[in-house]
A and B are shown apart, each in its own frame.
Chain A
Amino acid sequence: MRIACPYCGPRENGEFSYLGDATPVRPSLEQGVDAMLDYVFLRDNVAGEMQELWYHGGGCRAWLKVTRNTLTHEISAVEAARGAGAAKVGKR
Chain B
Amino acid sequence: MKKIISLLILMVIALSALSIAHADPEQDRKSIIKFFETRFVGIPLSEYVNGVYAYDTIGRESWEAIEEFPPYEIAIEKGQDMWEKPFANGKTYTDCFPDGPAIAQKYPHWDKKQAMVMTLPLAINQCREANGEKLLKYKKGSINNILAYIAFESRGKKTHVVIPKDAPGALAAYEDGKKFFFTRRGQLNFSCATCHIQNAGNRIRSDNLSPALGHTTHFPVYRSKWGAVGTLHRRFTGCNKQVRAKPFKAQGEQYRNLEYFLTYLSNGLELNGPGSRK
A interacts with B:
no
